[in-house]
Chain A
Amino acid sequence: MIEIESVSKSYGGVRVLDDVSLTIPTGGITSLIGANGAGKSTLLSVASRLLPADGGRVRVDGMDVATTPGPVLARRLAVLRQENAMSVRLTVRELVAFGRFPHSGGRLTAEDHRLVDEALAWFELGPLADRHLDQLSGGQRQRAYVAMVMCQGTDHVLLDEPLNNLDMRHAVQMMRMLRGMADELGRTVVLVVHDVNVASCYSDRIVAMREGQLVAEGPTPELMTPELLRKVFDVEVEVHELAGRRIGVPWS
């Protein structure tokens, strides 16, 4: 469970997060949606202690992220940012193995090796395991990063725009894998997503933000309404039911 209590954050006088309070329950996929600059990524960064908050606090399983020692938190919560340009040249296996660092501090045990193999298999990276990251396509690389985060073996996984740079096939594949992590492995997955329909089709809960504030949160079907989407995105959106899913279609 992630508890966010009246968190605020400003950049150079601009308030990016304004007194946000939110509880993300254990289990399932929660998607943060909102227009550009609504504060989704910032909220994710604050919740994962990549950014310090100006006010308020965030607790993961009751532990304050600002004061909990890094290694302890890293065994409870894993995070992946959007930009992951690395200056070092690693193979896929080496990268994924770093996911075990919070547990083994760099000296991999047999158990660690097994978990690395498992993560590689889960994300269908086995054949690519000994390739260098710079030899992969954008979609494969993205999968490798998410595999590292999964390999961290945490209950909470926070991902910022995991579908960035992925084409339709790879995006669907990625969402299926994340869905599996939530359903089969019981992880709590939190995503920042800019496509409402991805959020609608794959997540259990939606958190909608606008201009640094929380607009609404709740189970996906409740939030996929024309009224709410208009409020969040400032665009008229029709919501249609298609094969049991709610799909938003913007029009003007």
Chain B
Amino acid sequence: MTAVLTASQRATRRRRTLLVLGVLTLAVVAAYLTVDVTGSWGYALQQRGRRLAAMAVVAVAVAVSTVLFQTVTGNRILTPEIMGFDRLFVLIQTVGVFFLGAATVTTTDPRLRFAIEVVVLIGFGAVLHRSLFGRTERDVYVLVLLGVVLGSTFTSLTLLVSRLIDPNEFLTLQDLLFASFTSVDRQMLALSAVLVALVTLGVWRLLPRLDVVALGRDTAVGLGVEHRRVVNRALLAVAVLVAVATALVGPITFLGLLVANLARQLLGTHRHAWVLPGAALLAVLALAGGQLVLEQLFGFNSSLGVVVNFVGGIVFIALLIREPRQ
């Protein structure tokens, strides 16, 4: 049993944890930018800086969306990625190219394209939420399994549709779909950064109410929180953030699960004002640190997602095995 700490001791400890995380992240970021630069410093910094910026945007998007999603669903093993959101995003793009042709899709204003994709994701989130969540509280595991199967079906469907596409158009699609940190488009990056910043700011104003929503619907309503409105806004934010992250680098299924749970564990609280920054820092740490290790030690470039999924899958299994049902 853990020792009983007073509220102020806890707060001090939290602050220290967050500080350590921040320093660690800064160290990794500095290392990522400077280690083993050969040739022109300006060029290297520019290249690495852009990659790092992409990682930061994705990290924040994934961390915030996961924490919000878990609060809204009242469960710490659900994530938007596990429910198939990111796979759906990929499917939408593929279906778009299939029906409209690559030319139409690529010449459409990226902002409009993105808006349409986000709307579909929001619709999906709403359907999930209305029809699946909250009906009975005990069927979370059914939801997770459902999400996993949905994700796998979306992937099969994506593969199938992409086979039906003209090979030339398929190339365009590949450019759209198989992005990685090494090949992020500058304009796209700027747009994403702005979106993530705006959404995160919006979420910041919801924080106290989100803390209450995490107590469950009845308690939240009893405490005077407009539960449905908060949930709707949170889901909206989740849809935008998932879309941004997936558009930038493709699906990284388990990153959110890892950082959200780890942040809560390290900080010992569910308060969003602590957990959100903690999770975001951890995500940057995981991505930049992971990429650094892979690049420098193993000489790989773009297999970070695979490593994250490997570690994340194991952690998820451990969570499932340990977590007793309430």
Contact = CB atoms under 8 A, between A and B. Distances in A.
Contacts of A248: none
A106 B222 contact: no
Which of B207, B211, B226: most chain A CB closer than 10 A? B211
Given A85-B326, A107-B208, A70 B4 contact: no
B299 to A, nearest CB: 42
Q: Binding site of A, secondary structure by majority: helix, strand, loop or mixed? A: loop
Interface stretch (A14-22, A89-97, A207-215, A218-226): A89-97
A8 interface: no
B207 A101 contact: no
Interface string A27-63: 0000000000000000000001110000000000000
B44 interface: no
B30 interface: no
A206 to B, nearest CB: 24
- By size class, the interface of chain A is 35 or more
B212 interface: yes
A69 B137 CA distance: 26
Contacts of B216: 84-87
A102 B224 contact: yes
A84 B218 CA distance: 9
A71 B224 contact: yes
B214 interface: yes
A52 B5 CA distance: 41
A49 B211 contact: no
B7 A91 contact: yes
Interface string A68-94: 011111110011110011111111011
B208 A105 contact: yes
Contacts of A90: 270
Given A102-B223, A106-B211, A130-B7, A50 B218 contact: yes
Contacts of A80: 222
B46 interface: no
B75 interface: yes
B215 interface: yes
A98 B212 contact: yes
Nearest to B137: A85
B326 A72 contact: no
Q: Binding site of B, secondary structure by majority: helix, strand, loop or mixed? A: loop
A87 B214 contact: yes
B268 to A, nearest CB: 8
B76 to A, nearest CB: 6
B223 A99 contact: yes
A78 B222 contact: yes
Which of B5, B222, B326: most chain A CB closer than 10 A? B222
Given A80-B222, A84-B219, A89-B270, A131 B4 contact: yes
Interface string B211-234: 110111011011111110000000
Contact of B224 (A81, A86, A89, A101): A101
B38 interface: no
B228 to A, nearest CB: 10
Interface in A164-190: none
Contacts of B219: 81, 84, 86, 98
Contact of A87 (B76, B218, B223): B76
A49 B227 CA distance: 12
A152 interface: yes
B225 A101 contact: yes
B278 to A, nearest CB: 15
A109 interface: no
Contact of A74 (B74, B207, B222): B222
A10 interface: no
Which of A72, A75, A80, A87: most chain B CB closer than 10 A? A87
Nearest to A73: B224
A93 B208 contact: no
B1 interface: yes
B223 A135 contact: no
B29 to A, nearest CB: 31
A98 B219 CA distance: 10
Contacts of B215: 86, 88, 98
Given A80-B222, A152-B223, 6 more contacts: A81-B222, A87-B74, A98-B223, A99-B223, A106-B207, A130-B7
29 contacts: A49-B221, A50-B218, A50-B221, A69-B224, A69-B226, A70-B226, A70-B227, A71-B224, A74-B222, A74-B223, A79-B218, A79-B222, A80-B222, A84-B216, A86-B214, A86-B215, A86-B219, A87-B74, A87-B214, A90-B270, A98-B219, A98-B223, A101-B208, A101-B223, A106-B207, A106-B209, A106-B211, A107-B208, A152-B223
